[in-house]
Chain A
Amino acid sequence: MSRVSSSVNNLQINLINIRNKQTNNIFLSDPVMLFVFVPCFLSGLNNVRTPTCVPVARMSTEPLGGGGDNLKYALLVGAAFVGSLTYVSKINLFLSSPSLVLICFLMRTPAADSTSPSHKLPSHTPYLLIGGGTASFAAARSIRARDPGAKVLIVTDEPDLPYMRPPLSKELWFSDDPSVTETLRFKQWNGKERSIYFQPPSFYINPEDLDSAENGGVAVLTSKKVVHMDVRGNKVKLDDDTEISYDKCLIATGGIPRSLQVLERSGEEVMKRTTLFRKIEDFKSLDKVSRSVNSITIIGGGFLGSELACALGRKSTESGLEVVQMFPEKGNMGKVLPEYLSNWTTEKVKKEGVKIISEALVKSVACKDDKLEIQLKDGRLVRTDHIVAAVGLEPNVDLAKSAGLEVDSDFGGYRVNAELQARSNIWVAGDAACFYDIRLGRRRVEHHDHAVVSGRLAGENMTGASKPYWHQSMFWSDLGPDVGYEAIGIVDSSLPTVGVFAKATAKDTPKAATEKSGTGIRSESETEDTATSPVASATPAPAVEHKDDYGKGVIFYLRDKVVVGIILWNVFNRMPIARKIIKDGEEHADLNEVAKLFNIHED
């Protein structure tokens, strides 16, 4: 700062000379004018950016350099000079100098977002991803891998960075850590712990720094919703009126949990005691609820409902919580598994401590004396403290109207082609995409792996790949320690199925596969099957049912004699073969021969 002190010395000398000359020149009689505004004027001539005002205290933290800083520097010098002069000459220059008033005015605390023009949200981004879930993150990865130095901006209305959803209804509930609702960490099957967040915050860069990032990066703008899309202008508008233009855009807005009309009609007291489960905040609140109530009822018998029921059921053994699950079908996963398997699975879910009420249609729900009363259409009444609704997902197509994008009337979601493209420069992936699957036809898939696969594909196509959806995604579910399966393709219980099962042994469960410990719960009946001819009747004799333990096997789903879906029932690491069979799309005369390819008797 020796520059300052020598300048101050010079200024002092000059001022004394000026005062002695008693001129009327404003620049000479007002020292502040001379030493502050002249530099300001000069820097203005040099086309420096409009200086913004910062209080003196903040100046010291800013690195010197850049046009704006010249002014700050000049102001600092001017103020310091005038201050020191006041002290020396006992003339209160602050009162007599009009420009000092101006300086004080200029030095007020600025608005938070005007520290410097570079610290603002980008008004343009090459890659804009709407939605911050699994598909979006997978696309960001893909784009960054293929386009060197790519700048990717993710905009999400959630407050969280991208995270994976499956553990919210599975692993997180089995954690021994009491602070799991804060840490959101869980143990993987291989014993290693990880967070549900795909990446820690250090992976991402700030949206404000995206423009200037030398090697690009992924920035996430949280708690901001895209409310309007202008396809012709290649830009979007956020809920705070910010506009962002893009070169390529991905819509990965996922969906929101469906509610039941009866619940919506039942009023606030009921809705207060209802959870529509999907996000981190829903997991946190349900965990809290499960510790404080006596009874929870889950409405819905699909993946999410059954997984939550099993998770809560397991906890119920310690806490005495009553867990009820009700659904219109005859058994758990009734829309996915063939009836015999759905029934078998339901028995397993009951063993997890869940009270199953099947063939249940909810007529009305009321809140009486702080308890919920669920009236079923067949007259049964269920009294409970809290409801979890797991009755499906409504794909989020809010932007369809403003963007002029087509919405599919059969499956819901944005209609896209086989390359996941809706229009030029606009792709859709994940739960919200109704796409054309070359092998299986038009569909919309709501599974995690599909979000990954379609997100990746969208990212590839956004960087010029032009590839169709080809690599089949898979999904999986665990319903307790005895039942675990992986599936691929169209797995719809209304299709004809062929199931090939092996005799179960103690080794064949998800729990056993990971822990290699005997469960001891496996089938009691290991005797040989005696029936060798097909039985035409629909219901087997009870004795046969007892012997039919569907320990492990493979189930084929057929459409026009072609296998379109496969479930690997308690057999693992065979997905590539399943994928191949679906890809081939051949008619196979004997599916038992196809089943041999899976080696179901081996581990």
Chain B
Amino acid sequence: MSSVREEGKDKIIFVTKEDHEIPSSADLIEEDPDDPYEEKGLILPNGEINWNCPCLGGMASGPCGTEFKDAFSCFHYSKEEVKGSDCLEQFGVMQECLQKYPEIYPQEDDSSSSQTSQDSAPAEPPSPNRAPGNEQDSETTTPNKESSEES
């Protein structure tokens, strides 16, 4: 049974697990996928890449940003059967660049977009329309708080 108490203007309710098992009757407004103000995921409504997406782990804005954008754009628009197979040159150039900055892009086996723990992005958990599989990293140290930490 839940208990309710008031201390002046503040109301305090204690609830048990059973109390909260009954589904909520609170109404939330449906999300508009075309809302221009909302933070967008990796792919914008017009099909272009959102280079400012925190999910990219800052790859587009670092010292190798230009090379990364070239390679990733090529991949994104690639119509080959094996997507991106026509982009080997761009990826090669990008790889060369990444190797010049080992402090920023530590070489790990699965290095792709989100490897450095140094990179920055808002401390936000992935929003529903974010591209799956791309972890974002964080400028904050917020611990267990946000699920926005990169691997």
Contacts and interface: CB of A to CB of B under 8 A. Distances in A.
Interface of A: 134, 137-138, 140-146, 148-149, 164, 166-167, 170-171, 186, 188-190, 192-195, 197-200, 202-203, 205, 215, 217, 338-340, 448-449, 452-453, 456, 459-460, 467-468, 470-471, 473-474, 476, 478, 484, 486, 495-503, 510, 513-514, 528-536, 538-540, 544, 548, 572-573, 575-576, 580-581, 584, 586, 588, 590, 592-597, 599-601
B80 interface: no
Given A145-B51, A484-B145, A497-B9, A503 B14 contact: yes
Nearest to B4: A534
B122 A456 contact: yes
A518 to B, nearest CB: 16
Contact of A144 (B3, B37, B60, B149): B60
B26 A596 contact: yes
Contacts of A190: 149
Contacts of A192: 117
Nearest to B143: A189
Given A503-B14, A575-B146, A471 B26 contact: no
B122 A449 contact: yes
Contact of B69 (A148, A467, A529, A594): A148
B62 to A, nearest CB: 6
B10 A340 contact: yes
List of 7 A-B pairs having minimum Cβ-Cβ separation, nearest first: A189-B143, A144-B61, A596-B24, A529-B3, A470-B37, A513-B144, A338-B10
A140 B23 CA distance: 45
Contact of B141 (A166, A453, A501, A532): A166
B15 A500 contact: yes
B82 interface: no
A171 B52 CA distance: 28
Interface string B32-74: 0000111100000000000110001010111101100100000
Contacts of B63: 202-203, 205, 217
B16 A503 contact: yes
A224 B4 CA distance: 57
A260 B1 CA distance: 49
Interface residues of B, number: 65
A351 B33 CA distance: 48
A202 B5 CA distance: 57
Nearest to B60: A145
Nearest to A338: B10
A588 to B, nearest CB: 6
B52 A456 contact: yes
A460 B52 contact: yes
A488 to B, nearest CB: 11
Contact of B7 (A197, A467, A538): A538
A499 B10 contact: yes
Given A203-B104, A593-B24, A594-B26, A215 B141 contact: no
27 contacts: A148-B66, A148-B69, A164-B141, A186-B141, A189-B145, A189-B149, A195-B118, A199-B62, A448-B123, A452-B123, A470-B38, A471-B122, A476-B145, A478-B143, A486-B146, A498-B13, A528-B1, A529-B1, A534-B11, A536-B6, A573-B125, A573-B145, A573-B147, A580-B28, A586-B27, A592-B2, A592-B19
B145 A572 contact: yes
B28 A199 contact: no
Given A215-B65, A513-B144, 11 more contacts: A138-B120, A146-B52, A194-B117, A339-B7, A471-B124, A498-B11, A498-B13, A529-B1, A575-B125, A592-B15, A594-B24
B48 to A, nearest CB: 11
Nearest to A539: B7
Nearest to A460: B52
Contacts of B60: 144-145
Contacts of B10: 338-340, 496-499
Nearest to A549: B14
A584 B101 contact: no
Contacts of A467: 36-37
Contacts of A188: 117, 141, 143, 149
A141 B7 contact: no
Given A146-B51, A600-B20, A510 B118 contact: no
B37 A502 contact: no
Contacts of A592: 2, 13, 15, 19
B26 A531 contact: no
A496 B9 contact: yes
B99 interface: no
A600 B36 CA distance: 32
A481 B43 CA distance: 40
Contacts of A166: 140-142
Contacts of A535: 5-6
Q: Which of A468, A531, A599 has the most CB of B within 10 A?
A: A531
Contact of A448 (B8, B24, B140, B147): B140
Contacts of B3: 529-532
